[in-house]
Amino acid sequence: MKKIFLTGLILSCLALPAKADDSKSKTFGTIDTVTVAENTFTLKGDDGNTYLFNVNEATEMEKNSSWFDEDITITDLKTGDRVQIEYFSDNPDFLVVDELEIFPPQKK
């Protein structure tokens, strides 16, 4: 009986993180403006909309290069950077970035 209870408890605990991710959304686009002092930037989404994002201490940011991914900060963001963003939309004033990845410029 204890094994069944413990197995159920472990499985329910493993399911909790997956449920927490349900509130995240993902978008792709190009950085339009960066305001380092306010930890914000705007993104021109591939869907044609402009989004205001906020970066905080929990935000994970990296630059995808040909050999390895490099951790970055908001000061490394530049207008025109092509990015993929996972974000939380709980705040009515701006979207909170959970993860951001910059992709290398496309070769022509």
- Whether 20 has a pLDDT exceeding 80, the answer reads no
Residue 59 sits in a domain whose CATH number is: 2.40.50.320
CA dist 37 and 75 (Å) reads: 10
pLDDT at 108: 64
> Do residues 64 and 8 lie in contact, with contact meaning Cβ atoms separated by under 8 Å?
no
- Residue listed under structure tokens 């022509």: 108
The confidence score (pLDDT) of residue 91 equals 85
Tell me if 7 is assigned to some domain.
no
Average pLDDT, integer, range 57-76: 89
Residue 56 lies in a domain: yes
Considering the chain, what percentage of its residues have pLDDT values greater than 90? 63
Quick one: DSSP state of residue 66? Answer: S
Question: Is 40 part of any domain?
Answer: yes
Residue 105 confidence (pLDDT): 75
Q: Among 20-29, 59-68, 78-87, whose mean pLDDT is lowest? A: 20-29
The total domain count for the chain is 1
